[in-house]
């Protein structure tokens, strides 16, 4: 039978009673149980969440019943909410109180989507990597979920970087790539960004996470368009090879949503993608994002 001291030693974060962390996959992700996000979160509980987030990169809370206010209050513990880069005239959301809240939904009223990113599959990406200070964390809360598909896959970009051959690391360390978002696009194929119109920003292909100090790859299939200072053909071939390397199952956790899930992910060291789902079923999630720093 374990003594009190040995069981304490296996839980060094001194988690408050009933709060515990359960890894979700070998690649990344952990569920935290025993926290009701509608209630004030004390410092001890918050530090368990923050430590688990740094270690596991994606955090899941299940069975939450969250108002918009609850979600915003929790997110603000991690930093300032990020405003929406999309011009107000291009936003679909009318039924939200905070201008920073985005609905991710295929529901349509009078033929118009009530939210953003409405339909089907989406390739791997990092949120807002096309602006100067991309999102640090994204908080996505499930309100309506289809019976099949619409899963979100998360990818560990520390592990993807660490597993690169040394000669590829040498080729990309210190290099920059242009990231661009063609609004509404969910796959690279067929994209042809117009740099006068679509938001874009050049960032390092390998970034250092400001908290962990670890290196992570910072390129993705949906939004990283080309490598600076490289011929088009060479840039396209290297990016393709990187995307294929990155998108290996061993780096991925596949999340199947349940109503009441709140997921928090770190855009500085993970990517995410969405699987296809039927347009006959409704999908509604509520999202907010906290602002990050300029990658280095
Ligand atoms: C997002 C996003 C994926 C999903 O909200 O940034 O990519 O599963 N969502 O809807
Ligand atoms: Mn996204």
Looking at the chain, the whole-number percentage of residues with pLDDT higher than 70 is 95
**Does any domain span residue 154?**
yes
The pLDDT-based confidence of 13 (bands split at 50, 70, 90) is low
The answer for residues whose C-beta is within 8 angstroms of residue 135's C-beta and 6 or more apart is 82, 126, 127, 128, 267, 289, 290, 291, 292
Average pLDDT over the chain reads 93
- Residue 288's CB is within 10 A of a number of other CB atoms, namely 24
Which of 222, 258, 272, 273 is the best mutation target for the ligand 1 pocket, counting ligand atoms within 8 Å of the beta carbon and taking the most?
272
**Ligand 1 first shell, C-beta below 6 A:** 104, 117, 122, 127, 138, 140, 152, 272, 274, 285, 287
Q: Is 189 left (phi over 0), alpha (psi -120 to 50) or beta?
A: beta
**Does any domain span residue 7?**
no
Out of 78-87, 146-155, 213-222, 250-259, pick the least confident: 78-87
Q: Which domain holds residue 177?
A: 18-289
Assess whether pLDDT exceeds 80 at residue 231.
yes
The helix/strand/coil state of 233 is: helix
Q: How many angstroms separate the CA atoms of 133 and 126, rounded?
A: 12
pLDDT of residue 41: 95
| Closest to 270 (Cα-Cα) out of 226, 214, 225, 187 | 214
Q: How far is the CA of 1 from the centre of ligand 1 (A)?
A: 45
Assess whether pLDDT exceeds 60 at residue 10.
no
The pLDDT-based confidence of 68 (bands split at 50, 70, 90) is very high
Tell the residue nearest (CA) to atom 3 of ligand 1.
274
Which one of the ligands is nearest to 152 CA? 1
Q: How many angstroms separate the CA atoms of 79 and 82, rounded?
A: 9
**Does any domain span residue 1?**
no
Assess whether pLDDT exceeds 70 at residue 227.
yes
Q: How far is the CA of 104 from the centre of ligand 1 (A)?
A: 7
**Does any domain span residue 10?**
no
Q: How many domains does the chain have?
A: 1
Mean pLDDT of 41-51: 96
Assess whether pLDDT exceeds 90 at residue 93.
no
**Does any domain span residue 263?**
yes
Give residue-wise pLDDT tens across range 161-175: 999 999 999 999 999
Assess whether pLDDT exceeds 50 at residue 9.
no
pLDDT of residue 204: 98
Which of 104, 136, 288 is the best mutation target for the ligand 1 pocket, counting ligand atoms within 8 Å of the beta carbon and taking the most?
104
**Does any domain span residue 12?**
no
Assess whether pLDDT exceeds 80 at residue 152.
yes
Out of 2-16, 45-59, 117-131, 211-225, pick the least confident: 2-16
- 63: domain CATH number is 3.60.130.10
Q: Which ligand 1 atom lies nearest to the CA of residue 138?
A: 6
Residues acting as catalytic residues? 125, 127, 272, 287
Q: Which ligand 1 atom lies nearest to the CA of residue 287?
A: 5
**Does any domain span residue 123?**
yes
Per the document, the length of the chain is: 296
Please list the residues that pair with 30 across neighbouring strands: 23, 59
Q: How far is the CA of 35 from the centre of ligand 2 (A)?
A: 25
Higher pLDDT, 96 or 21: 21
The pLDDT-based confidence of 1 (bands split at 50, 70, 90) is very low
**Does any domain span residue 80?**
yes
Q: What is the pTM of this model?
A: 0.93
Q: How far is the CA of 123 from the centre of ligand 2 (A)?
A: 9
Mean pLDDT of 141-156: 98
């Amino acid at each position: 039978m374990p003594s009190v001291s040995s069981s304490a030693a296996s839980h060094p974060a001194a988690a408050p009673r009933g709060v515990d962390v359960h890894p979700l996959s070998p690649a990344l992700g952990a569920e935290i149980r025993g926290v009701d996000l509608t209630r004030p979160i004390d410092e001890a509980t918050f530090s368990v969440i923050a430590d688990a987030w740094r270690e596991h990169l994606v955090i899941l809370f299940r069975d939450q019943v969250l108002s918009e206010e609850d979600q915003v209050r929790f997110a603000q513990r991690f930093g300032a909410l990020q405003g929406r880069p999309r011009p107000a005239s291009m936003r679909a959301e009318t039924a939200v109180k905070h201008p920073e809240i985005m609905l991710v939904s295929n529901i349509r009223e009078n033929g118009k989507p009530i939210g953003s990113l409405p339909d089907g599959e989406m390739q791997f990406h990092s949120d807002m990597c096309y602006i100067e200070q991309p999102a640090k964390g994204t908080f996505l809360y499930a309100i309506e979920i289809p019976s099949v598909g619409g899963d979100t896959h998360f990818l560990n970009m520390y592990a993807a970087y660490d597993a690169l051959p040394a000669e590829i690391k040498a080729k990309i360390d210190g290099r920059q790539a242009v990231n661009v978002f063609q609004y509404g696009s969910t796959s690279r194929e067929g994209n042809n960004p117009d740099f006068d119109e679509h938001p874009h920003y050049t960032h390092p292909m390998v970034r250092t996470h400001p908290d962990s100090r670890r290196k992570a790859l910072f390129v993705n299939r949906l939004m990283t368009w080309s490598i600076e200072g490289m011929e088009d053909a060479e840039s396209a071939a290297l990016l393709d090879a990187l995307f294929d390397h990155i998108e290996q199952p061993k780096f991925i956790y596949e999340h199947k949503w349940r109503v009441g899930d709140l997921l928090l992910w770190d855009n500085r060291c993970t990517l995410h993608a969405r699987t296809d789902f039927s347009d006959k079923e409704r999908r509604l999630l509520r999202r907010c994002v906290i602002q990050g720093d300029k990658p280095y």
